[in-house]
Structure 1
Amino acid sequence: MNHVKALIIKFVMIAVVLLVILTGIYDVEFSDTLLISVVLTLVAYVLGDLLIFRKTGNRSDNNRANHNESDHTKRNAIATVADIVTAFLVIWVMGEALFADTEDLMQAAIISALVIGAGEWFFHKYLDRNVFPEKNDHTTTTTR
């Protein structure tokens, strides 16, 4: 259930950004913007959040509490950059296929990707607290 809620939050964030930028500024059709939002949400969640954010920085040492904040910052930075690149590529490729006028597509994709990336930075904090609790575990385990 936590993943469903996270997907909904991510979709709303992406859809709002793309509706404002693509539809509001660049006059992209509403339906095209929603289609890009759905595809980008799914691709970015799997690649950026499940494969990169969740899997990077696993701590195996006994001093987890001291590394927790720096670990989160490192994972967050890596995943955010991956999300920006993913957003740019999905918007650009789908835009080339869907839009009749692609003159400003590169600019629209860059602006959209950067704004989505800013939102992703905070979304990853939500994921750490609510969806991936094993990454936020402050307990230490020692084996003898």
Structure 2
Amino acid sequence: MRHLLALAIKFVMVTAVLLLVLTVGFDVPFVDTLLISLALTALSYAMGDIMIFLNAGSPENQSTRNTVATFVDFVMAFLTIWLIGWLLTGQNFEMVTPALLSALVISGGEWFFHLYVDRSVVPEYNNYKAVKR
């Protein structure tokens, strides 16, 4: 259940950023933005938040793990937004700027999302006291 809530939070964060940058700022169709959001949320949660963030260093060294995972999330977000945006819109070079802007904002949010994952989704990893539900 904690993972489902984390996925929902991440989807809302990613979708809000992409709607503002892609749809409002660069006229990418709404449906295309939602498809990119779904793909990016699933990919970055599985790879960036679970695989890389939890395994990029020792549990005690949260700052290093967060830095590595945030950088990987930036690269993954840029490539995913650019590639899927290109495939959906047919615009190759026109998608570079919105993908870069989106990836920068999303990776900023990812820094704080990793803190949430560490404390509330997998508290046993760092021996945090589990959040009472």
TM-based fold match above 0.5: yes
**In structure 2, distance between residues paired with 1:101 and 1:81:** 26
Gaps of 5+ in 2: 129-133
1:134: which partner in 2?
Answer: 124
**In structure 1, distance between residues paired with 2:2 and 2:117:** 9
Gaps of 5+ in 1: 60-67, 139-144
**In structure 2, distance between residues paired with 1:100 and 1:17:** 21
Task: Name whichever structure is richer in helix by fraction.
Answer: 2
- Name the aligned partner's letter for residue 2 of structure 2: N
TM-score (norm 1): 0.85
- Candidates 55, 58, 76, aligned match of 2:66: 76
- Name the SS of the counterpart of 1:57 in structure 2: coil
Greater length-normalized contact order (CA 8 Å, ≥ 6 residues apart): 1
Residue identity (%):
49
- Candidates 98, 116, 123, aligned match of 2:106: 116
**In structure 2, distance between residues paired with 1:88 and 1:79:** 14
2:53: which partner in 1?
Answer: 53
2:87: which partner in 1?
Answer: 97
Q: How many residues align?
A: 129
1:54–1:132: 8 Å Cα contact kept in structure 2?
no
Whose radius of gyration is greater, 1 or 2?
Answer: 1
